């Protein structure tokens, strides 16, 4: 599997209490775009999770995984229709 590609610099999830509402929305949208930008890697990450093979993750993988789980993001939707995925998960 290829390495992840970070689209946005200083990627990561800061504590929510430090973010203003607009910053939180921007951060969420950046994370959704990161998932889309790294679709094959995210798919591999989630497949490992489903099969109980996700033992160790790096900080970036941890952030993506926690974000996907805590926001109930169905990553399978991206494979079916990437535009619909982005429309559903990007906050306007």
Closest by CA to 72, choosing from 53, 46, 41, is 46
The tokens describing 84, both together, are 């619909």
Cα 79 from Cα 15, distance rounded (Å): 30
Q: In whole angstroms, what separates CA 39 from the centre of its chain?
A: 9
Predicted local confidence at residue 76, as pLDDT:
85
Q: The pTM is what?
A: 0.74
Q: From the first residue on, what is the mean pLDDT of each consecutive set of 10 residues in the chain (92 residues)?
A: 55 62 88 89 92 88 89 88 93 90
Predicted local confidence at residue 85, as pLDDT:
93
Residues 6+ apart with CB under 8 A from 45: 54, 57, 61, 64, 65
């Amino acid at each position: 599997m290829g390495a992840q590609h970070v689209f946005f610099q200083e990627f990561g999830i800061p504590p929510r209490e430090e973010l203003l509402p607009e910053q939180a929305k921007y951060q969420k949208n950046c994370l959704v775009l990161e998932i889309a930008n790294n679709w094959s890697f995210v798919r591999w990450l989630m497949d490992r999770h489903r099969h109980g093979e996700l033992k160790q993750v790096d900080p970036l993988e941890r952030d993506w995984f926690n974000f996907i789980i805590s926001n109930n993001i169905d990553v399978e939707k991206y494979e079916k229709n990437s535009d619909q995925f982005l429309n559903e998960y990007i906050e306007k």
